[in-house]
Amino acid sequence: MNTRRLLAENEDILYQTKKHWAVFLKAAIYFALAYAVMQNLPYLLSVTQFNPPEDLKKILPPVISWSVKGACYTTAAVLALMGLMRLLGFFSNKVIVTPKRMIQQDVLWGSVFSVDLHRIESVCAHTGLLGSLLNYGKVSIVTGSGQKLSIPNLRRPHEFERELFGAK
């Protein structure tokens, strides 16, 4: 993640931040949920066992068993992927403030968002209860043209807000 290639020749970095480590906690919750789903698979299979009518004995039990297994595997895979995306987002996201503009780079998705500082109308840092305790939160930026940018799980959001207005 070379940030120098995003900057102009005479442009310096005034402030730089990344996502907060609390993203790891959120990813761990997704992984724990995926693990819990897989651990409950035998219980779910035992709960769905019943004595079907005679003409459906060959078809219905395997269909129900495969349906329960498919639902559990799919749910666990989706939860694990959501946790993995959180982890990868931690390492791939970077926010930079220069004297001229604010740049958000996400290497994972290949996106770069840049906005001139004079076009920014408002910046608002939102921290919840856990965010205020651990010093992280979501930063919302609104430009003059009405374009909105929201950066979740950012480290020290109030400091970022101060630096952004200080550079302006």
* Count of the separate structural domains present in the chain: 1
- What range defines the domain where residue 163 resides? 4-167
CA-derived radius of gyration, the chain? 23
pLDDT tier at 3, thresholds 50, 70, 90: low
Q: Does the pLDDT of residue 27 top 70, yes or no?
A: yes
Rounded distance between C-alpha atoms, residue 145 and residue 18, angstroms: 26
CATH number at residue 147: 2.30.29.30
Beta-bridge partner residues of 148: 142
Half-sphere exposure of 45 (CA within 13 A, CB side): 15
For the segment 52-56, the average pLDDT, to the nearest whole number, is 85
pLDDT digits (tens, 9 = 90+) for 116-159: 888 888 889 999 898 889 999 999 999 888 888 888 899 999 99
- 93 burial (CB, 10 Å; 0-12 / 13-18 / 19+) is buried
Q: Quick check: 141 and 129 in contact, CB under 8 A?
A: no
pLDDT digits (tens, 9 = 90+) for 55-101: 888 888 899 999 999 999 999 999 999 999 999 988 888 888 888 88
Identify the helix (H) or strand (E) that includes residue 143. Answer: strand 136-143
